[in-house]
Structure 1
């Protein structure tokens, strides 16, 4: 999943109106932000699928970033760090919940390659990616709902708050469509470096939220 992860970041704003959208994006995408660095360090591995494959990547080994046990650990860590910084139990729970939500959404679309714990077998996955149109429809619907919830719960302070948000929404959709219909990645290193670029989306979300305010405040 791609759009659905960001959709949950948008959708969580009404639950934690004082938490920046950038932080919500960071939480929901944390394991995918961690994964490219682990690839570059050789601690996890993926390979490019043969030409014509429905799923372009074969996830061979990623227990540190994507096993359920590890994801729960990352969730506890990020929730604890957020509580230490902001002293809000509610916000910390939302942040931690978003981290875990990433694995749960991946469970729906991945073929059985998600480990439950490092070294645990067998891996799990419901395989919706094998039905591309169904996966595309699901992600589009979830993204539309998430974006609507964010728009409903916030309002722009200025033109930047409006234009930057719509630009972010459009960019996310374009990236998703390129991922779905574009050519397969040329190499694993390219996958890792493109994955690192997701940090720019987090930074953009911080900038957007700085120019918006919760409705009624």
Structure 2
């Protein structure tokens, strides 16, 4: 899952608007930001199997980012970071932490069994990656539902609703690009590209979150 993770960020913004959208967007992929850094260093490992249907990634070793206890730890880190750096209220900080943890839950839907229940424990995953068309439909569907809620929330606040479809369009474009690009077995290139994409979405979220005239975004 790639852009589907941002559905949690957008939905959280609709429910708890006191945290900035860029913080939610970064939180949604914080686990994968860590993964990108750790595959560059070799602490976590992956390979590519072009014969796999859908996503060609074989995620061999990622206990520090994608195990269940690691996801909980990253979530706690997210809560503390936004509480200390952004001075958010506890409720908003907790929502950011929930978005961080949503990454593991959404990965559980699509990953093949590569998500450890504890650091060296059994691995789980429902494997929706093996069914590319339904998997893409789930991702885009989640984004569409969350964006509708966010647009409604912005409209109620008099901020304008057009930011939601523009941001979603950007996410869909990124998803298409990611689907068309060949899988890269180089950990440095893959890690750097992943981190760059996540930071680009974070920047786009900051622009999308700006107030606009009601009805214009």
SS at match of 1:52: coil
Counterpart secondary structure, 2:123: coil
2:212 and 2:149 map into 1 onto residues whose CA distance is 14
Aligned length: 210
Matched, 1:113 2:118: no
Whether the aligned pair in 1 keeps the contact of 2:28 and 2:99 (CA below 8 Å) is yes
- Look up the match of 1:176: 175
Match of 1:103 in 2: 104
- The 3 A distance-change label for structure 1 pair 63 and 213 is farther
SS at structure 1 position matched to 2:175: helix
> SS at the partner of 2:115?
coil
Aligned-pair CA distance for 1:39: 1.0
What secondary structure does 1:154 align onto?
A: helix
Contact 1:109-1:129 within 8 A present in 2 as well = yes
How far the C-alpha of 1:30 sits from its partner, in A, is 0.6
Distance 1:212 1:111 in 2: 42
Q: Which residue pairs with 2:27 in the alignment?
A: 27
User: Closer, same or farther in 2 for the Cα pair 1:165/1:152, shift >3 Å?
Assistant: closer
Q: Provide the TM-score with structure 1 as the length reference.
A: 0.87
Output one character per residue of 1:7-29: Cα deviation in whole Å (capped at 9) or x when no partner: 11111112211111000111111
Residue deviations 1:52-104, cap 9 Å, x none? 32131100111111111011011112112323342512101101111110000
Q: 1:214 to 1:124 in 2, by over 3 A?
A: farther
Shift >3 Å, 4+ stretches: 155-158, 164-168, 211-215
- Cα pair 1:16 1:91 within 8 Å, conserved: yes
Secondary structure of 1:86's counterpart equals coil
Where does the alignment leave 5 or more consecutive residues of structure 2 unmatched?
none
- Could you tell me how far apart the structure 1 residues matched to 2:74 and 2:42 are? 20
Alpha-carbon distance in 2 for matches of 1:181, 1:68: 31
Contact 1:17 1:214 in 2 (8 A): no
Which stretch shifts more, 64-73 or 79-88? 79-88
- 1:76 corresponds in structure 2 to 76
Q: Assess, with a 3 A threshold, how the Cα gap between structure 1 residues 187 and 87 changes in structure 2: closer, same or farther.
A: closer
- TM-align CA RMSD: 2.4
Structure 2 Cα separation of the partners of residues 173 and 25 of structure 1: 15
Separation in structure 2 between the aligned mates of residue 184 and residue 14 of structure 1, nearest angstrom: 34
